[in-house]
Structures are given as C-alpha cells and as structure tokens.
C-alpha cells in the first residue's frame, strides 16, 4: 500500500485531495500535515491520521514523512486583505510576517524537498500555479510578494533534486463540481499567452485533486511539469477526461 504525506492538507485544494484519498483507503494510506489542530478538526471532524507541524521544521517533517513513499505538496502563501477598501479604490493585500511567498513557497517547499530526499521519498507531486514565466503577472503584485516567481523557483529546485516529480501548474481555481469537464494540458504559460477559443484559463479544484491522485500511479506523470485548465461544462465537441494515461502522455518533461 502506498503511504502518502499531504502537506497543506487544510487548504481548500489540499483538503479535497485528502478526502478523496481517504475514500480509497484500500489503495492508499494518507497522512495529512497542517498547522492547526482546530482547523483539522473543523474540516475533517477528527485529527486521526494528521500531524500538526511547521514546514520549516526539519524535525516535524522527518516525523511526518516516516515510512512514506510519496509527498504531495499543496502548501501556499495566502494574501490577506488590508482592511476594507475605500469606495472606488482597489483592495490592498499583505502577507503575514511568517507567511510570505518567499518563506512558504520557496523556503518551506525547499525544506520539504530536502527532507524528502534525506528520508528516501520516491515521488513528489507539487501543485503550483500558471504564470511563473511572467514577472509582471498581477498575482506577483499582491502584497509585493512575487508569489509566482517564488513558486517557480521551488519547482526548478524540485526538478534538480533527483527525485521523481510531477508538477501541476493549475489555472484559476473554481469551486465547482469536478469530473464533468475535459482537461487540457500545456506548458510555458501558453494558455495564458494564447488562450484556446472560448476556453477560460481556469479549472475546478476537484479536477486538480483528481489529477494529483491519478498522478500517483500513472507512469506517464513522472518527471513532468505542465499547465492544467479545463473546458467549460458542455463545451462543444468536448469529452470528459477519464483516460489519465492519455492526458499525461501529452505532457512534457521540460519546464
């Protein structure tokens, strides 16, 4: 049985990955890793099979990864709105002192990769975001955090680590039902630079979670880094993605 650690397990996408893996308990043993007992209890109703810790702590991560073959990284810095914006003005955002993209998306992910290598993790699945090729992407200006640039740096570090990897750069995340759309893979932010006709650069969170889980056992998902979006439901001539080997076969091994 494959033992998996999911970091960022209390995030909106991370919690979906954990819940979906828990329904496949005959195939996978999943351990969730988060920062707050209260949040774990609130989301899952139990703290069983969860470890509470800090992604910057080597001891916490070593304990969490014990006996695991796979690491799924879903940690991400989260900007917070600075008060209520004045009428007619755009809201301003900031990051907590110890929750900046440099700390969470670079140092924290680098630490996870380093510890994973030390303890013998065989495969790391990292969920990131499209837009990392564009320093001027609007998300980088939030709280002056350069979040996509730090994410990209961590991705490059993972690729150079020697561990088998799958890097999923998701489009804009939607809170809509999953399993009802055709998924599209690309690279180098081609979807952002030249969007397919009539296809938004977005995807339901649940479809990202499904892709993560499919990547656990699909050989064609190994050592691949790709962008991921979805066609809208009932898009003309679309076909709901069910053949994961076919999807991953289309991906490439380059950044």
Known catalytic membership, residue 129: yes
- In degrees and rounded to multiples of 5, residue 164 shows phi and psi of -60, 140
* Helix axes of 37-44 and 12-22: crossing angle, nearest 10 degrees: 60
How far apart CA 125 and CA 4 sit, in angstroms, is: 10
* Total residues found in the chain within this entry: 255
How far apart CA 64 and CA 122 sit, in angstroms, is: 15
Residue-wise DSSP of 19-74: HHHHTTTTTEEEEEEES-HHHHHHHHS--TTEEE--TT-HHHHHHHHTT-SEEEE-
Q: Which of 129, 141, 194, 254 is catalytic?
A: 129
DSSP 181: S
Catalytic annotation, residues: 129
């Amino acid at each position: 049985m494959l033992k998996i650690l999911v970091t960022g397990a209390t995030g909106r996408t991370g919690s979906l990955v954990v819940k979906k893996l828990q329904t496949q308990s005959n195939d996978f043993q999943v351990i969730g890793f988060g920062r707050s007992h209260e949040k774990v209890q609130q989301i899952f109703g139990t703290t069983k099979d969860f470890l509470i810790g800090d992604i910057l702590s080597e001891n916490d991560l070593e304990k969490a990864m014990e006996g695991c073959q796979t690491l799924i990284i879903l940690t991400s810095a989260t900007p917070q709105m600075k008060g209520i914006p004045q009428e007619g003005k755009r809201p301003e955002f900031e990051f907590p002192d110890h929750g900046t993209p440099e700390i969470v998306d670079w140092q924290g992910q680098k630490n996870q990769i380093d510890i994973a290598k030390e303890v013998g993790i065989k495969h790391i699945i990292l969920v990131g975001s499209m837009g990392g090729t564009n320093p001027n992407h609007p998300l980088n200006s939030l709280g002056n955090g350069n979040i996509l640039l730090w994410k990209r740096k961590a991705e490059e570090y993972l690729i150079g680590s020697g561990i088998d990897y799958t890097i999923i750069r998701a489009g804009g995340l939607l809170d809509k039902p999953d399993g009802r759309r055709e998924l599209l893979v690309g690279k180098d932010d081609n979807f952002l630079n030249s969007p397919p006709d009539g296809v938004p650069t977005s995807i339901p969170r649940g479809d990202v979670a499904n892709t993560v889980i499919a990547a656990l056992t699909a050989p064609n998902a190994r050592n691949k880094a790709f962008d991921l979006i979805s066609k809208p439901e009932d898009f003309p001539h679309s076909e709901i993605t069910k053949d994961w080997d076919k999807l991953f076969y289309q991906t490439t091994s380059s950044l």
